[in-house]
Amino acid sequence: MTHPVVLVHGAWHGTWCWERVITGLEAAGIPTYTVALHRGSVAADTAAVQEVIDKAVENTGKNVVVCGHSYAGGVISGLDTTHAASLVYLCGVLPEIGVSIAGTLSQSSPHLSAATVLSEDGRTVTLDPDQVCALFYNNCSEKDQAWARDLLLPQAVSSFFEPVRGIAWLERESTYVICTQDQVISPDSQRHMARHTAWIIEFDTDHSPFLSRPDLVVNLLIEKSRDKS
């Protein structure tokens, strides 16, 4: 028996980014769930993840492994961990309680800040299409870069500045994956955040291993999903 896996995408992205990971996990017989965020706030995004976790537990009778990418690290940190077998932070933001995602990253993402475009009403931010591929997908093929770039969505500005209300990473076994070629969140910043977790792994990838090296993500999640009871 294995634990089901819940995949939570990062800012600007959607469930589409997990397609290759889903294929690998399902081929291994692991029930896999995704969550569509963009609910307008970290709290609302966390509630959406919690709802999917509850559904997965109801369907399978097993606690879940939750994998959060980038921004979603802040989202999954606020979860009720009652039914979480473990958490995986995939180059994810790992905030202290009461600190926002922007506050956690502070000066660690200068290239990202330069590539963001604020909407006229100041409510959402998008990514400069001329810069996004070099930042997020620097290990990906040009075809994959273009595919992902065209699917990105605006992100609510407020979601970056809302204090995170939980520290789920302290309540459950957590794993941090440092992506050593990441141009979005510096590897050094990731190492600083990773010190809070029980397990630290390094992928020699860009910020988007779900696209550039899905095999690494799949193999890790297969390992984490194994029932050790």
The CATH classification of domain 5-225, taken from the options 3.90.1170.50, 3.40.50.1820, 3.40.630.10, 3.30.200.20: 3.40.50.1820
Predicted confidence (pLDDT) at residue 229 exceeds the cutoff of 80: no
Q: What share of the chain is helix, strand, coil (3-state, %, to 5)?
A: 40, 20, 40
- Among 86-90, 146-150, 161-165, 197-201, the range scoring the smallest mean pLDDT is 161-165
Q: What is the mean pLDDT of residues 144-156?
A: 97
Q: What is the mean pLDDT of residues 25-38?
A: 97
Is the whole-model pTM more than 0.95? yes
| C-alpha 106 chain-centroid distance | 18
Q: Which helix (H) or strand (E) holds 36?
A: none
Residue range 47-96, pLDDT digits in tens: 999 999 999 999 999 999 999 999 999 999 999 999 999 999 999 999 88
What pLDDT score does 96 carry? 87
Residue range 89-116, pLDDT digits in tens: 999 999 888 899 999 887 667 788 889 9
Q: Checking phi first, is residue 92 left (phi over 0); if not, alpha (psi -120 to 50) or beta?
A: beta
Q: What is the mean pLDDT of residues 13-32?
A: 98
- Among 43-47, 86-90, 135-139, 160-164, the range scoring the smallest mean pLDDT is 160-164
Q: What is the mean pLDDT of residues 119-125?
A: 96
